[in-house]
Structure 1
Amino acid sequence: MNELVFIQNNEILVSSKDIANNFSKRHDHVLRDIESIEKDVPNFGEMFHKGESKDSYGRSQPCYFMNRDGFTLLAMGFTGKQALDWKIKYINAFNQMEKQLKSATPQLTGEELMAKALIEANSVLARQSKQLEEQKPKVLFADSVIASKGSILVRELAKLIKQNGYDIGEKKLYRWLREKGYICKNSTEPTQMAMNLGLFEIVVRTIERGDAPPRATRTTKVTGKGQVYFINKLCNSNCSLYDLEPLF
Protein backbone atom coordinates (compact mmCIF):
# COMPACT_ATOMS: atom_id res chain seq x y z
CA MET A 1 0.00 0.00 0.00
CA ASN A 2 2.72 2.51 0.99
CA GLU A 3 4.46 2.24 -2.36
CA LEU A 4 1.83 4.74 -3.51
CA VAL A 5 3.30 7.47 -1.29
CA PHE A 6 6.73 8.37 0.07
CA ILE A 7 8.28 10.61 2.71
CA GLN A 8 10.50 13.56 1.89
CA ASN A 9 11.58 16.15 4.47
CA ASN A 10 9.10 14.64 6.91
CA GLU A 11 6.23 15.22 4.47
CA ILE A 12 4.11 12.53 2.82
CA LEU A 13 4.09 13.01 -0.94
CA VAL A 14 2.94 11.38 -4.16
CA SER A 15 4.28 12.06 -7.66
CA SER A 16 2.23 13.26 -10.64
CA LYS A 17 3.86 10.53 -12.75
CA ASP A 18 2.56 7.76 -10.44
CA ILE A 19 -0.89 9.36 -10.41
CA ALA A 20 -0.92 9.42 -14.21
CA ASN A 21 0.03 5.73 -14.35
CA ASN A 22 -2.44 4.58 -11.71
CA PHE A 23 -5.38 6.63 -12.99
CA SER A 24 -4.64 5.64 -16.63
CA LYS A 25 -3.98 9.21 -17.72
CA ARG A 26 -1.30 10.83 -19.84
CA HIS A 27 1.31 12.47 -17.66
CA ASP A 28 1.31 15.68 -19.72
CA HIS A 29 -2.45 15.93 -19.15
CA VAL A 30 -1.97 15.56 -15.39
CA LEU A 31 0.73 18.27 -15.48
CA ARG A 32 -1.66 20.49 -17.43
CA ASP A 33 -4.43 19.92 -14.86
CA ILE A 34 -2.08 20.83 -12.00
CA GLU A 35 -0.76 23.98 -13.66
CA SER A 36 -4.27 25.10 -14.63
CA ILE A 37 -5.23 25.52 -10.95
CA GLU A 38 -2.04 27.30 -9.89
CA LYS A 39 -3.35 30.82 -10.47
CA ASP A 40 -6.50 30.16 -8.42
CA VAL A 41 -4.84 28.51 -5.40
CA PRO A 42 -3.04 31.04 -3.12
CA ASN A 43 -1.06 28.35 -1.25
CA PHE A 44 -0.27 26.30 -4.37
CA GLY A 45 3.42 26.09 -3.43
CA GLU A 46 2.59 24.47 -0.09
CA MET A 47 0.74 21.61 -1.78
CA PHE A 48 2.67 21.14 -5.04
CA HIS A 49 6.47 21.00 -5.46
CA LYS A 50 7.95 20.98 -8.95
CA GLY A 51 10.62 18.35 -9.60
CA GLU A 52 11.89 15.79 -12.08
CA SER A 53 11.44 12.08 -12.71
CA LYS A 54 13.04 9.58 -15.10
CA ASP A 55 11.19 8.25 -18.14
CA SER A 56 11.61 4.74 -19.58
CA TYR A 57 14.77 5.91 -21.38
CA GLY A 58 16.34 7.35 -18.23
CA ARG A 59 15.77 10.95 -19.33
CA SER A 60 14.75 13.62 -16.82
CA GLN A 61 11.18 14.83 -17.26
CA PRO A 62 9.28 17.52 -15.32
CA CYS A 63 6.81 16.35 -12.71
CA TYR A 64 5.09 17.52 -9.52
CA PHE A 65 5.22 16.08 -6.01
CA MET A 66 2.13 16.82 -3.94
CA ASN A 67 0.96 16.29 -0.37
CA ARG A 68 -2.44 15.02 0.73
CA ASP A 69 -4.13 18.40 0.13
CA GLY A 70 -2.64 18.69 -3.35
CA PHE A 71 -3.69 15.16 -4.25
CA THR A 72 -7.22 15.78 -2.97
CA LEU A 73 -7.50 18.99 -5.00
CA LEU A 74 -6.24 17.30 -8.16
CA ALA A 75 -8.23 14.08 -7.79
CA MET A 76 -11.52 15.97 -7.39
CA GLY A 77 -11.78 16.07 -11.16
CA PHE A 78 -11.15 12.34 -11.69
CA THR A 79 -14.38 10.41 -12.23
CA GLY A 80 -15.44 6.84 -12.85
CA LYS A 81 -15.36 3.55 -10.91
CA GLN A 82 -11.66 2.96 -11.50
CA ALA A 83 -10.81 6.50 -10.37
CA LEU A 84 -12.88 6.04 -7.20
CA ASP A 85 -11.02 2.81 -6.37
CA TRP A 86 -7.65 4.55 -6.73
CA LYS A 87 -8.77 7.55 -4.66
CA ILE A 88 -9.62 5.17 -1.81
CA LYS A 89 -6.26 3.41 -2.17
CA TYR A 90 -4.38 6.69 -1.99
CA ILE A 91 -6.40 7.92 1.00
CA ASN A 92 -5.64 4.69 2.83
CA ALA A 93 -1.95 4.98 1.91
CA PHE A 94 -1.79 8.54 3.28
CA ASN A 95 -3.54 7.47 6.50
CA GLN A 96 -1.26 4.48 7.01
CA MET A 97 1.90 6.49 6.40
CA GLU A 98 0.75 9.22 8.78
CA LYS A 99 0.27 6.60 11.53
CA GLN A 100 3.76 5.26 10.90
CA LEU A 101 5.23 8.76 11.10
CA LYS A 102 3.46 9.49 14.38
CA SER A 103 4.56 6.21 15.94
CA ALA A 104 8.15 6.77 14.79
CA THR A 105 8.34 10.36 16.07
CA PRO A 106 10.17 10.49 19.45
CA GLN A 107 8.44 12.27 22.30
CA LEU A 108 10.21 15.55 23.08
CA THR A 109 10.66 17.05 26.52
CA GLY A 110 9.26 20.49 27.36
CA GLU A 111 12.69 22.09 26.93
CA GLU A 112 13.20 20.36 23.57
CA LEU A 113 9.78 21.50 22.35
CA MET A 114 10.56 25.08 23.42
CA ALA A 115 13.92 25.02 21.63
CA LYS A 116 12.31 23.64 18.49
CA ALA A 117 9.62 26.33 18.59
CA LEU A 118 12.23 29.09 18.99
CA ILE A 119 14.27 27.77 16.07
CA GLU A 120 11.18 27.65 13.86
CA ALA A 121 10.08 31.14 14.96
CA ASN A 122 13.50 32.60 14.17
CA SER A 123 13.44 30.89 10.78
CA VAL A 124 10.01 32.35 9.98
CA LEU A 125 11.09 35.86 11.06
CA ALA A 126 14.22 35.64 8.92
CA ARG A 127 12.18 34.65 5.85
CA GLN A 128 9.66 37.42 6.45
CA SER A 129 12.40 40.03 6.93
CA LYS A 130 14.03 38.96 3.67
CA GLN A 131 10.73 39.16 1.79
CA LEU A 132 9.98 42.62 3.20
CA GLU A 133 13.45 43.86 2.27
CA GLU A 134 13.07 42.55 -1.29
CA GLN A 135 9.64 44.12 -1.66
CA LYS A 136 10.52 47.42 0.03
CA PRO A 137 11.34 49.51 -3.08
CA LYS A 138 8.14 48.49 -4.88
CA VAL A 139 6.02 48.84 -1.75
CA LEU A 140 7.39 52.33 -1.14
CA PHE A 141 6.74 53.25 -4.75
CA ALA A 142 3.16 51.96 -4.63
CA ASP A 143 2.51 53.84 -1.37
CA SER A 144 3.88 57.08 -2.81
CA VAL A 145 1.73 56.77 -5.95
CA ILE A 146 -1.41 56.03 -3.97
CA ALA A 147 -0.72 58.99 -1.71
CA SER A 148 -0.30 61.26 -4.75
CA LYS A 149 -3.38 62.68 -6.41
CA GLY A 150 -1.48 63.60 -9.58
CA SER A 151 -1.72 61.78 -12.88
CA ILE A 152 1.12 61.39 -15.38
CA LEU A 153 1.56 61.01 -19.12
CA VAL A 154 2.07 57.59 -20.69
CA ARG A 155 5.68 58.47 -21.58
CA GLU A 156 6.32 59.28 -17.89
CA LEU A 157 4.79 55.92 -16.93
CA ALA A 158 7.20 54.22 -19.36
CA LYS A 159 10.11 55.92 -17.57
CA LEU A 160 8.83 54.78 -14.16
CA ILE A 161 8.41 51.22 -15.38
CA LYS A 162 11.96 51.28 -16.78
CA GLN A 163 13.29 52.62 -13.47
CA ASN A 164 11.60 49.69 -11.73
CA GLY A 165 13.47 47.14 -13.83
CA TYR A 166 11.36 46.56 -16.95
CA ASP A 167 12.99 47.83 -20.17
CA ILE A 168 10.30 49.62 -22.16
CA GLY A 169 9.81 52.89 -24.03
CA GLU A 170 6.79 55.09 -24.73
CA LYS A 171 6.04 53.66 -28.21
CA LYS A 172 6.35 50.05 -27.08
CA LEU A 173 4.15 50.74 -24.05
CA TYR A 174 1.49 52.43 -26.21
CA ARG A 175 1.54 49.46 -28.60
CA TRP A 176 1.04 47.01 -25.74
CA LEU A 177 -1.74 49.13 -24.18
CA ARG A 178 -3.60 49.13 -27.52
CA GLU A 179 -3.15 45.40 -28.13
CA LYS A 180 -4.34 44.53 -24.63
CA GLY A 181 -7.42 46.75 -24.84
CA TYR A 182 -6.43 49.58 -22.49
CA ILE A 183 -6.02 52.20 -25.25
CA CYS A 184 -8.28 52.51 -28.32
CA LYS A 185 -6.87 51.35 -31.66
CA ASN A 186 -5.22 54.10 -33.75
CA SER A 187 -5.68 56.51 -30.87
CA THR A 188 -4.08 57.73 -27.66
CA GLU A 189 -7.35 57.72 -25.71
CA PRO A 190 -8.22 54.96 -23.22
CA THR A 191 -11.03 52.48 -23.77
CA GLN A 192 -14.22 52.89 -21.78
CA MET A 193 -13.39 49.73 -19.78
CA ALA A 194 -10.02 51.19 -18.73
CA MET A 195 -11.73 54.44 -17.75
CA ASN A 196 -14.33 52.57 -15.71
CA LEU A 197 -11.49 50.82 -13.84
CA GLY A 198 -9.98 54.21 -12.97
CA LEU A 199 -6.67 53.53 -14.74
CA PHE A 200 -6.76 56.69 -16.88
CA GLU A 201 -8.27 60.15 -17.02
CA ILE A 202 -8.78 62.60 -19.89
CA VAL A 203 -7.55 66.15 -19.27
CA VAL A 204 -9.35 68.69 -21.49
CA ARG A 205 -7.77 72.11 -22.07
CA THR A 206 -8.81 75.06 -24.21
CA ILE A 207 -6.09 76.83 -26.22
CA GLU A 208 -6.60 80.40 -27.45
CA ARG A 209 -4.18 81.91 -29.99
CA GLY A 210 -4.77 85.42 -31.22
CA ASP A 211 -7.86 85.81 -33.33
CA ALA A 212 -8.15 82.07 -34.03
CA PRO A 213 -11.17 80.28 -32.56
CA PRO A 214 -10.48 78.51 -29.22
CA ARG A 215 -9.32 74.94 -29.68
CA ALA A 216 -9.94 72.14 -27.18
CA THR A 217 -7.20 69.53 -26.56
CA ARG A 218 -7.62 66.13 -24.91
CA THR A 219 -4.67 64.52 -23.11
CA THR A 220 -4.62 60.96 -21.78
CA LYS A 221 -3.04 60.67 -18.33
CA VAL A 222 -2.43 57.67 -16.09
CA THR A 223 -3.99 57.93 -12.63
CA GLY A 224 -2.22 56.93 -9.43
CA LYS A 225 -4.25 53.70 -9.42
CA GLY A 226 -3.23 53.07 -13.03
CA GLN A 227 0.46 53.64 -12.23
CA VAL A 228 0.37 51.05 -9.46
CA TYR A 229 -1.55 48.61 -11.63
CA PHE A 230 0.72 48.79 -14.69
CA ILE A 231 4.00 48.84 -12.75
CA ASN A 232 2.96 45.82 -10.69
CA LYS A 233 1.73 44.01 -13.82
CA LEU A 234 4.97 44.54 -15.75
CA CYS A 235 7.69 44.78 -13.10
CA ASN A 236 6.45 41.96 -10.85
CA SER A 237 6.13 39.44 -13.70
CA ASN A 238 8.67 37.06 -15.20
CA CYS A 239 6.67 36.84 -18.44
CA SER A 240 7.58 38.54 -21.67
CA LEU A 241 5.62 41.70 -22.44
CA TYR A 242 3.20 40.07 -24.88
CA ASP A 243 2.52 37.04 -22.66
CA LEU A 244 0.81 39.33 -20.15
CA GLU A 245 -2.96 39.28 -20.27
CA PRO A 246 -5.15 42.33 -19.61
CA LEU A 247 -7.30 42.60 -16.51
CA PHE A 248 -10.50 42.39 -18.57
Structure 2
Amino acid sequence: MSSREIAELTGKRHDHVMRDTRKMLVELHGEEALPKFGGSYTGQDNTARPCFNLPKRESLILVSGYDVHMRAAIIDRWQLLEDRRSPEAMLNDKSVLRALLLENVEKVIALETRVASDAPKVAFADQVSAAPDAISISQAAKTLGTGRTRLAAFLRQKGWLTRTNEPYQDKINSGLLDVKIGSWEHPEKGLQRSVTALVTGKGLAKLHQLFTAH
Protein backbone atom coordinates (compact mmCIF):
# COMPACT_ATOMS: atom_id res chain seq x y z
CA MET A 1 0.00 0.00 0.00
CA SER A 2 1.44 3.37 -0.95
CA SER A 3 1.92 6.18 1.52
CA ARG A 4 -0.34 8.31 -0.69
CA GLU A 5 -3.19 5.83 -0.27
CA ILE A 6 -2.60 5.71 3.47
CA ALA A 7 -2.79 9.52 3.54
CA GLU A 8 -6.08 9.50 1.61
CA LEU A 9 -7.63 6.81 3.82
CA THR A 10 -6.57 8.41 7.09
CA GLY A 11 -7.11 12.01 6.05
CA LYS A 12 -3.55 12.90 6.99
CA ARG A 13 -1.20 15.02 4.90
CA HIS A 14 1.10 12.94 2.71
CA ASP A 15 4.25 14.63 3.96
CA HIS A 16 3.21 13.74 7.52
CA VAL A 17 2.68 10.10 6.53
CA MET A 18 6.10 10.11 4.86
CA ARG A 19 7.64 11.52 8.04
CA ASP A 20 5.92 8.92 10.21
CA THR A 21 6.99 6.13 7.85
CA ARG A 22 10.65 7.15 7.91
CA LYS A 23 10.61 7.30 11.70
CA MET A 24 8.95 3.89 11.94
CA LEU A 25 11.42 2.24 9.53
CA VAL A 26 14.41 3.69 11.40
CA GLU A 27 13.03 2.40 14.70
CA LEU A 28 12.35 -1.03 13.21
CA HIS A 29 15.49 -1.55 11.15
CA GLY A 30 18.00 1.13 12.08
CA GLU A 31 19.60 3.71 9.83
CA GLU A 32 22.03 1.24 8.25
CA ALA A 33 19.53 -1.47 7.28
CA LEU A 34 16.51 0.39 5.98
CA PRO A 35 14.45 -1.77 3.57
CA LYS A 36 13.90 -0.45 0.07
CA PHE A 37 10.26 0.55 0.24
CA GLY A 38 10.85 3.85 -1.54
CA GLY A 39 8.93 4.73 -4.69
CA SER A 40 7.74 7.71 -6.66
CA TYR A 41 4.63 9.11 -8.29
CA THR A 42 3.87 11.94 -10.71
CA GLY A 43 2.43 15.02 -9.07
CA GLN A 44 -0.06 17.47 -10.53
CA ASP A 45 2.83 19.54 -11.85
CA ASN A 46 4.11 16.45 -13.78
CA THR A 47 7.19 16.14 -11.57
CA ALA A 48 8.31 12.96 -9.85
CA ARG A 49 7.71 12.97 -6.12
CA PRO A 50 8.78 10.44 -3.48
CA CYS A 51 6.49 8.04 -1.68
CA PHE A 52 6.65 4.71 0.16
CA ASN A 53 5.15 1.40 -0.93
CA LEU A 54 4.64 -0.58 2.25
CA PRO A 55 3.81 -4.26 2.80
CA LYS A 56 0.88 -5.15 5.03
CA ARG A 57 3.00 -5.61 8.17
CA GLU A 58 4.65 -2.19 7.93
CA SER A 59 1.36 -0.51 7.00
CA LEU A 60 -0.36 -1.85 10.12
CA ILE A 61 2.60 -0.98 12.34
CA LEU A 62 2.56 2.56 10.95
CA VAL A 63 -1.10 3.18 11.71
CA SER A 64 -0.96 1.49 15.12
CA GLY A 65 -0.29 4.91 16.59
CA TYR A 66 -3.22 6.53 14.77
CA ASP A 67 -6.74 6.70 16.15
CA VAL A 68 -9.15 3.79 15.86
CA HIS A 69 -10.99 5.18 12.83
CA MET A 70 -7.77 5.58 10.86
CA ARG A 71 -6.65 2.06 11.80
CA ALA A 72 -10.03 0.65 10.79
CA ALA A 73 -9.84 2.35 7.37
CA ILE A 74 -6.41 0.83 6.67
CA ILE A 75 -7.43 -2.65 7.89
CA ASP A 76 -10.61 -2.55 5.78
CA ARG A 77 -8.59 -1.55 2.75
CA TRP A 78 -6.11 -4.42 3.22
CA GLN A 79 -9.02 -6.83 3.66
CA LEU A 80 -10.47 -5.66 0.37
CA LEU A 81 -7.12 -6.06 -1.41
CA GLU A 82 -6.70 -9.59 -0.07
CA ASP A 83 -10.29 -10.57 -0.91
CA ARG A 84 -9.73 -9.50 -4.51
CA ARG A 85 -6.81 -11.90 -4.76
CA SER A 86 -8.66 -14.86 -3.22
CA PRO A 87 -10.05 -17.54 -5.59
CA GLU A 88 -13.55 -17.11 -4.19
CA ALA A 89 -13.54 -13.40 -4.90
CA MET A 90 -12.16 -13.93 -8.40
CA LEU A 91 -14.88 -16.43 -9.24
CA ASN A 92 -17.50 -13.90 -8.18
CA ASP A 93 -15.96 -11.06 -10.17
CA LYS A 94 -17.22 -11.09 -13.77
CA SER A 95 -14.51 -8.73 -15.01
CA VAL A 96 -11.80 -11.02 -13.59
CA LEU A 97 -13.44 -14.06 -15.16
CA ARG A 98 -13.60 -12.33 -18.54
CA ALA A 99 -9.91 -11.42 -18.31
CA LEU A 100 -8.95 -14.98 -17.35
CA LEU A 101 -11.06 -16.41 -20.16
CA LEU A 102 -9.51 -14.05 -22.71
CA GLU A 103 -6.01 -14.91 -21.49
CA ASN A 104 -6.66 -18.64 -21.82
CA VAL A 105 -8.25 -18.26 -25.26
CA GLU A 106 -5.15 -16.37 -26.44
CA LYS A 107 -2.91 -19.13 -25.08
CA VAL A 108 -4.95 -21.82 -26.84
CA ILE A 109 -4.86 -19.92 -30.15
CA ALA A 110 -1.09 -19.46 -29.86
CA LEU A 111 -0.62 -23.16 -29.06
CA GLU A 112 -2.81 -24.25 -31.98
CA THR A 113 -0.88 -21.95 -34.33
CA ARG A 114 2.43 -23.39 -33.16
CA VAL A 115 1.19 -26.97 -33.51
CA ALA A 116 -0.03 -26.26 -37.04
CA SER A 117 3.27 -24.67 -38.05
CA ASP A 118 5.30 -27.51 -36.53
CA ALA A 119 3.15 -30.30 -38.00
CA PRO A 120 5.12 -30.65 -41.28
CA LYS A 121 8.40 -30.75 -39.34
CA VAL A 122 7.05 -33.39 -36.96
CA ALA A 123 5.67 -35.49 -39.80
CA PHE A 124 8.98 -35.26 -41.65
CA ALA A 125 10.95 -36.30 -38.54
CA ASP A 126 8.61 -39.23 -37.91
CA GLN A 127 8.95 -40.38 -41.50
CA VAL A 128 12.74 -40.19 -41.36
CA SER A 129 12.98 -41.93 -37.99
CA ALA A 130 11.01 -44.85 -39.43
CA ALA A 131 13.63 -45.47 -42.16
CA PRO A 132 15.60 -48.64 -41.24
CA ASP A 133 18.84 -47.77 -43.04
CA ALA A 134 20.85 -44.79 -44.12
CA ILE A 135 20.26 -43.61 -47.68
CA SER A 136 22.45 -42.34 -50.46
CA ILE A 137 22.96 -38.68 -51.24
CA SER A 138 20.87 -39.13 -54.38
CA GLN A 139 17.98 -40.53 -52.36
CA ALA A 140 18.39 -37.78 -49.76
CA ALA A 141 18.34 -35.14 -52.50
CA LYS A 142 15.15 -36.61 -53.90
CA THR A 143 13.55 -36.61 -50.46
CA LEU A 144 14.52 -32.96 -49.96
CA GLY A 145 13.26 -31.99 -53.40
CA THR A 146 16.58 -31.05 -54.95
CA GLY A 147 19.32 -32.55 -57.11
CA ARG A 148 22.23 -34.70 -56.02
CA THR A 149 24.86 -32.26 -57.32
CA ARG A 150 23.29 -29.33 -55.53
CA LEU A 151 22.93 -31.25 -52.26
CA ALA A 152 26.53 -32.51 -52.42
CA ALA A 153 27.78 -28.97 -52.98
CA PHE A 154 25.69 -27.83 -50.03
CA LEU A 155 27.16 -30.58 -47.83
CA ARG A 156 30.69 -29.57 -48.81
CA GLN A 157 29.88 -25.95 -48.06
CA LYS A 158 28.53 -26.86 -44.62
CA GLY A 159 31.55 -29.02 -43.81
CA TRP A 160 29.80 -32.37 -43.95
CA LEU A 161 31.71 -33.72 -46.96
CA THR A 162 35.28 -33.40 -48.17
CA ARG A 163 36.20 -32.22 -51.65
CA THR A 164 35.98 -35.84 -52.79
CA ASN A 165 32.50 -36.23 -51.22
CA GLU A 166 33.68 -38.40 -48.34
CA PRO A 167 32.05 -37.71 -44.98
CA TYR A 168 34.04 -36.03 -42.23
CA GLN A 169 34.60 -38.21 -39.19
CA ASP A 170 32.85 -35.83 -36.76
CA LYS A 171 29.66 -36.07 -38.81
CA ILE A 172 29.89 -39.86 -38.67
CA ASN A 173 30.52 -39.76 -34.91
CA SER A 174 27.50 -37.49 -34.40
CA GLY A 175 25.28 -39.89 -36.33
CA LEU A 176 24.48 -37.53 -39.17
CA LEU A 177 26.34 -39.42 -41.89
CA ASP A 178 27.52 -42.95 -42.48
CA VAL A 179 29.73 -44.63 -45.06
CA LYS A 180 29.56 -47.63 -47.32
CA ILE A 181 32.99 -49.11 -47.92
CA GLY A 182 33.48 -50.97 -51.16
CA SER A 183 36.27 -52.00 -53.50
CA TRP A 184 36.81 -52.15 -57.22
CA GLU A 185 39.53 -53.30 -59.55
CA HIS A 186 41.37 -50.59 -61.43
CA PRO A 187 42.89 -51.84 -64.71
CA GLU A 188 46.25 -50.23 -63.93
CA LYS A 189 46.28 -49.52 -60.17
CA GLY A 190 44.71 -52.75 -59.03
CA LEU A 191 42.31 -53.06 -56.12
CA GLN A 192 40.93 -49.68 -55.05
CA ARG A 193 38.78 -48.69 -52.09
CA SER A 194 35.53 -46.85 -52.61
CA VAL A 195 33.83 -44.73 -49.95
CA THR A 196 30.20 -43.81 -50.46
CA ALA A 197 28.65 -41.22 -48.16
CA LEU A 198 25.26 -42.09 -46.71
CA VAL A 199 22.79 -39.84 -44.94
CA THR A 200 21.25 -41.25 -41.77
CA GLY A 201 17.73 -40.57 -40.57
CA LYS A 202 19.10 -38.12 -38.02
CA GLY A 203 21.19 -36.42 -40.69
CA LEU A 204 18.24 -36.15 -43.06
CA ALA A 205 16.13 -34.48 -40.41
CA LYS A 206 18.96 -32.00 -39.74
CA LEU A 207 19.46 -31.39 -43.46
CA HIS A 208 15.79 -30.68 -43.87
CA GLN A 209 16.15 -27.77 -41.47
CA LEU A 210 19.41 -26.47 -42.93
CA PHE A 211 18.47 -26.90 -46.58
CA THR A 212 15.04 -25.31 -46.14
CA ALA A 213 16.57 -22.31 -44.37
CA HIS A 214 19.22 -22.06 -47.10
> Structure 1 length normalisation: TM-score?
0.44
CA distance, structure 2, for counterparts of residue 193 and residue 206 of structure 1: 24
1:155 aligns with 2:138: yes
Deviation at 1:196, TM superposition (A): 2.0
CA distance, structure 2, for counterparts of residue 160 and residue 148 of structure 1: 12
1:176 aligns with 2:154: yes
2:202 to 214, 225, 234: 225
Amino acid at match of 2:136: L
2:170 to 193, 199, 208: 193
1:138 aligns with 2:128: no
Consecutive unaligned residues in structure 2, runs of 5 or more? 1-39, 42-47, 52-83, 85-89
**Size of the alignment, in residue pairs?**
126
CA distance, structure 2, for counterparts of residue 206 and residue 171 of structure 1: 23
CA distance, structure 2, for counterparts of residue 181 and residue 118 of structure 1: 50
Amino acid at match of 1:202: V
Deviation at 1:132, TM superposition (A): 0.8
RMSD over aligned Cα atoms: 3.1
Amino acid at match of 1:181: G
Amino acid at match of 1:234: F
3-state DSSP of counterpart to 1:203: strand
Consecutive unaligned residues in structure 1, runs of 5 or more? 1-91, 100-106, 163-167, 242-248
CA distance, structure 1, for counterparts of residue 198 and residue 108 of structure 2: 41
Point out the structure with max Rg over C-alpha.
2
Amino acid at match of 1:173: L
3-state DSSP of counterpart to 2:97: helix
CA distance, structure 1, for counterparts of residue 193 and residue 203 of structure 2: 25
Q: Deviations over 1:120-151 (max 9, x none)?
A: 11121112112211221221111221233321
> Structure 2 length normalisation: TM-score?
0.50
Amino acid at match of 2:105: N
The 5 Å alignment of 1:30-69 reads none
Q: What percent identity do the matched residue pairs reach?
A: 26
Q: Deviations over 1:198-246 (max 9, x none)?
A: 11111124679xxxx88754321101110011101222x2xxx3xxxxx
CA distance, structure 2, for counterparts of residue 194 and residue 140 of structure 1: 24
